[in-house]
């Protein structure tokens, strides 16, 4: 039910007169309410929001035009303004929009409240932007926290301004104690860390800078430090964003690999064993360090290739080696062969035993040949000696057999002589005794 609009005289009339000029030109909602919530005056934006012409709205209560939640909230706020006689400002959702409302009481000269002026600025887009920023900030923070690597944000002076949980775990120091401290003090070598930090400013970023983080317990974590400058909207440098990649496991694995390679190298040296790989398409040949030593080649002077391999082989064996390799490639099969090397470094001849295997691609074509080489020179010498020893043994056995047969013949002769002694004269006996003694000396 409409009530007559009050006559714009006195303080209320002055409020209307001074407010009309700006309210119609302002890009905001403006309404003047009586003490009971009656609409005294309003601007076009407010009328459009309420959905009725200005003249039809004047003199009516504001509350029926509002949804229940907005009505209850606004009535309570108006009562607070009336009772407190002080302006109030707050954000309120009205339909699908958000407004920054300012409610100001209009007082008479005696201090009595005559009306409440309410001005509202549409802040829907601002709120959406703020909500988007909060969501993005939450999303960014989630990304930072989900990282298993320590992430640190530092000021231009090198003071820590923020860290993630991984940094807390790596240092053993709570976030609130880390913030504000010198970034370089988190590391085993502060001076090295500070040098890396300064390098970010001189180069714009650093990549894979080795450092070690010291935990409060004394535990040390090997890391690779990566950092870049971060700037504000105007391009001014604000500080450094850094991430420290934990490489402790990788460092341990690399140490184990180096130790394994060292042991393998030592075993190869003891056994005189080397290995090689030959890429057939590019004719690139890889030689292990021991290969160079076995062939007497200086790795600083000779690039490994099949041609370089042939150059150190006895020329008389080139055809044999080429034929053996060609047959293995044609048959796509493994092979074993010995060849003689004339060492370029000292001219000595040595015998090398090689085992090779052909590697095929998915189409069954030969793409690589891999193998091992071993110096068997001493083994060959021992084989020659063993063969010579076996030959001498055989000769010994033959000589022993001949001697045995000869002794059998002499034994028969000696027996005959003994029998003859019984029936001959002294002169003949003396001759026979001489023969007997001679035969005994032959059998001794």
Indicate whether 418 pLDDT > 90.
no
pLDDT digits (tens, 9 = 90+) for 317-338: 999 999 999 999 999 999 999 9
Please give the Cα distance from 312 to 314 (Å, whole number). Answer: 7
What share of the chain has pLDDT > 70, as a percent? Answer: 81
Q: Set out the domains of the chain in order of their start, with CATH numbers.
A: 10-127 (3.30.450.20), 147-251 (3.30.450.20), 271-380 (3.30.450.20), 408-444 (no CATH)
Mean pLDDT for the stretch of residues 385-402: 69
pLDDT digits (tens, 9 = 90+) for 282-301: 888 888 888 888 888 888 88
What share of the chain has pLDDT > 90, as a percent? Answer: 42
Indicate whether 190 pLDDT > 60.
yes
Write out the two tokens for 1: 């039910």
Residue 105, φ and ψ in degrees, nearest 5: -75, 145
For the ranges 54-58, 213-217, 232-236, 418-422, the lowest mean pLDDT is seen at 418-422
Please give the Cα distance from 431 to 189 (Å, whole number). Answer: 111
Contacts of 250 (CB under 8 A, 6+ apart): none
End-to-end Cα, the chain, rounded Å: 160
Please give the Cα distance from 107 to 15 (Å, whole number). Answer: 10
213 sits in the region (left: phi over 0; alpha: psi -120 to 50; else beta) called: beta
Mean pLDDT for the stretch of residues 43-64: 92
């Amino acid at each position: 039910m409409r009530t007559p609009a009050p006559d714009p005289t006195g303080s209320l009339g002055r409020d209307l007169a001074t407010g009309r000029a700006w309210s119609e030109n302002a890009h905001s909602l403006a309404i003047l309410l009586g003490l009971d919530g009656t609409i005294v005056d309003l601007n076009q934006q407010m009328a459009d929001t309420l959905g009725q012409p200005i003249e039809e709205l004047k003199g009516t209560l504001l509350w029926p035009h509002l949804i229940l939640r907005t009505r209850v909230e606004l009535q309570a706020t108006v009562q607070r303004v009336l009772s407190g006689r002080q302006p109030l400002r707050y954000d309120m959702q009205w339909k699908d929009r958000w407004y920054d409302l300012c409610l100001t009481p209009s007082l008479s000269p005696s201090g009595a409240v005559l009306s409440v002026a309410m001005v509202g600025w549409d802040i829907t887009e601002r709120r959406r932007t703020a909500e988007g920023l909060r969501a993005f900030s939450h999303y960014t923070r989630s990304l930072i926290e989900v990282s298993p690597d320590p992430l640190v944000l530092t000021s231009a002076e090198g003071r820590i301004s923020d860290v993630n949980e991984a940094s807390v775990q790596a240092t053993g120091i709570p976030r609130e104690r880390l913030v504000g401290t010198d970034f370089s003090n988190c590391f085993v070598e502060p001076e090295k860390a500070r040098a890396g930090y300064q390098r970010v400013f001189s180069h714009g970023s650093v990549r894979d800078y080795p450092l070690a983080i010291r935990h409060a317990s004394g535990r040390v974590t090997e890391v690779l430090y990566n950092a870049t400058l971060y700037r504000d909207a105007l391009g001014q440098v604000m500080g450094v964003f850094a991430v420290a990649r934990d490489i402790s496991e990788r460092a341990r694995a690399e140490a184990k690999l180096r130790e394994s390679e060292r042991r393998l190298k030592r075993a190869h040296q003891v056994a005189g064993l080397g290995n090689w790989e030959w890429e057939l398409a590019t004719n690139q040949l890889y030689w292990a360090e021991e290969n160079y030593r076995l062939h007497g080649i200086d790795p600083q002077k000779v690039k490994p290739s099949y041609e370089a391999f042939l150059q150190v082989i006895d020329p008389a064996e080139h055809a044999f080696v080429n034929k053996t390799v060609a047959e293995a490639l044609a048959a796509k099969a493994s092979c074993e062969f010995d060849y003689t090397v004339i060492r370029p470094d000292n001219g000595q001849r040595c015998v090398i035993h090689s085992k090779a295997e052909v590697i095929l691609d998915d189409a069954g074509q030969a793409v690589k040949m891999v193998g091992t080489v071993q110096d068997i020179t001493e083994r060959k010498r021992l084989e020659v000696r063993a063969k010579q020893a076996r030959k001498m043994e055989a000769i010994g056995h033959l000589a022993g057999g001949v001697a045995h047969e000869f002794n059998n013949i002499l034994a028969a002769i000696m027996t005959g002589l003994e029998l003859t002694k019984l029936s001959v004269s002294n002169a003949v006996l003396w001759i026979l005794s001489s023969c007997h003694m001679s035969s005994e000396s032959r059998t001794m």
